[in-house]
Chain A
Amino acid sequence: MSLIVNGQTHPLPEPRTLAALLRLLSPAAPFVVARNEEVIPQGTYEECPIFAGDKIEIVRPAAGGLR
């Protein structure tokens, strides 16, 4: 029973919410999260359930120009 976080397998947290996962990972702010390619608005993490097999992307600002 796991999910994929930034391309890596990760066990499902308890409770099975995005907020619980983020408490475990404690990513540095600022960041934004997508679950199965849907952006999850900040402030809704507690209400966002996660399930086995979900693909979670957690991204941060980075330097960029072109590819």
Chain B
Amino acid sequence: MNSTPMEDPLTLYGQSFSSRLLLGTARYDSPSVLVDGISAADPAMLTVSLRRQISGPKESGQSFWNLLRETQRAILPNTAGCLSAGEAVTTACMARELFQTNFIKLEVIGDELSLQPDPFGLVEAARELVRRGFQVLPYCTEDWVLCRRLMDAGCEVLMPWAAPIGTGQGPRNPRALRELRERAPQTPLIVDAGIGLPSQACQVMEWGFDGVLLNTAVSRALDPVRMASAFAEAVKGGRSAFLAGPMIVQEIAVPSTPEIGRPFGSGTSRLETQVPGSMPM
């Protein structure tokens, strides 16, 4: 491990990560593309799932396991596909036994068409998993009441969607996402699902979100490795812009070039005043 202190780490349940990008491991054309994509994205965590053992080549599960270990990335198991709180809790327990981590990305799907989270099952499962010592990262909507209930249940991190899973539409409800950011200023918020472009990832980071979780936007790009790199840069850029403090949007034009001393000017006018907050140069 690098002993130098991280600059601006992402901290989740007391664990610090140097990257603010989390990457899913599904839908890549080949294991080598996945490995190269991971290198390019430099993600804090990799999301993985559990699936039934089926008869067939025994190498597939083992090779994926070996691939995960070789990346030396933190693993974030998910409960993808669970349709009830009970299924999600059991899946989480199996994931903990297998991956030896208390982290769990909690998914309880409430609608098969939109893959929208089930808010009721989500809160029920979160409460039980927290009771069992899990560190729960719930995939949720941007609904404030739901998010508050999840925090009340003991979730220290929330993962609101930008848009339905796999759509790549980008933030569907920017106003609600930004209100969530404002109302939960101390809670790490990771935008999860629906991001399709680096500009969208950059945008939510500029709004002050703490991280972005991606899968399809990278894995289904024509060049996933290049796209992984683009997302990594976008997330960093958005975070830097947030920390830098964006200017306040103005309703009317404000000249950036000083008016004083402008050649061909006709004396003092309303515009020949210094722009508030600017340094005379």
Q: Which among A6, A28, A39 is the interface contact of B61 at CB below 8 angstroms?
A: A28
Query: Least Cβ distance of B166 to chain A in Å?
Result: 7
Q: Chain B residues near A7: list those with CB within 8 A.
A: 52
The answer to the question of A23 belonging to the interface, with a C-beta cut-off of 8 Å to chain B, is no
A52 within 8 A of B: no
Per the CB 8 Å criterion, the residue count for chain B at the interface is 48
* Complex contact A65–B25 (CB within 8 A): yes
Known: A28-B62, A39-B93. A60 touches B53 (CB 8 A): yes
A24, CB-defined interface residue at 8 Å: no
CB of A61 within 8 A of CB of B68, answer: yes
Q: Contact flags (1/0) for B94-109 with A, using CB distance below 8 Å?
A: 1111110000000101
* Set B64, B94, B115: member contacting A39, Cβ < 8 A: B94
Contact check, B80 vs A59: say whether CB atoms are below 8 A apart: no
Q: Contacting A66 at CB < 8 Å: which of B93, B98, B215?
A: B215
User: Interface readout for A13-48 with B: 1 if CB under 8 Å, 0 if not?
Assistant: 000000000000101111110100111011000000
**Given A28-B61, A29-B62, residue A63 in contact with residue B49 (CB < 8 A):** yes
**Which interface residue of A32, A59, A65 has the most chain B CB atoms within 10 A?**
A65
- List, in ascending order, chain A residues with CB within 8 A of B166's CB: 66
Instruction: Give the CA-CA distance A60 to B62 in the complex, in Å.
Output: 9
**CB–CB A65/B61 < 8 A:** no
* B58 partner residues in chain A, CB cutoff 8 A: 28
Q: Does B144 contact A (CB under 8 A)?
A: no
Instruction: Answer whether residue B120 sits at the interface, using C-beta atoms and an 8 A cutoff.
Output: no
Could you tell me if B52 and A66 are in contact, using CB atoms closer than 8 angstroms?
Answer: no
A49-61 contact mask (Cβ, 8 Å, vs B): 1 or 0: 0000000011111
Interface string of B255-269 (1 = CB under 8 A from A): 000000000000000
> Does B64 contact A34, Cβ atoms closer than 8 Å?
no
Q: A58-B52, A59-B52, A60-B53 are in contact. Are A30 and B165 (CB under 8 A)?
A: no
Which residues of B lie under 8 Å from residue A38 when comparing CB positions? 90
**Shortest beta-carbon distance from A9 to chain B in Å:** 15
Q: Is the CB of A59 within 8 A of B24?
A: no
Contacts of B237 in A (CB 8 A): none
B134-154: CB near A (< 8 Å → 1, else 0) gives: 000001000000000000000
Cβ of B65 < 8 Å from any Cβ of A? yes
Contact B49 A62 (CB under 8 A): yes
- B200: which A residues are within 8 A, CB to CB? none
Is B193 a contact partner of A61 (Cβ separation < 8 A)? no
Residues of A within 8 A of B (CB): 6-7, 25, 27-32, 34, 37-39, 41-42, 57-67
- The 10 A-B pairs with the shortest beta carbon distances in the complex, nearest first, are A65-B24, A65-B215, A64-B49, A28-B58, A60-B61, A62-B51, A63-B26, A59-B50, A32-B98, A66-B165
Extra pairs beyond A25-B53, A28-B61 (10, CB < 8 Å): A28-B62, A34-B93, A34-B94, A39-B96, A59-B53, A61-B99, A63-B48, A65-B26, A66-B166, A67-B109
Q: List 20 A-B contacts (CB under 8 A).
A: A28-B58, A28-B59, A28-B61, A28-B62, A30-B61, A34-B93, A58-B53, A59-B94, A60-B51, A61-B50, A61-B98, A62-B49, A62-B61, A63-B26, A63-B49, A64-B25, A65-B80, A65-B214, A65-B216, A66-B139
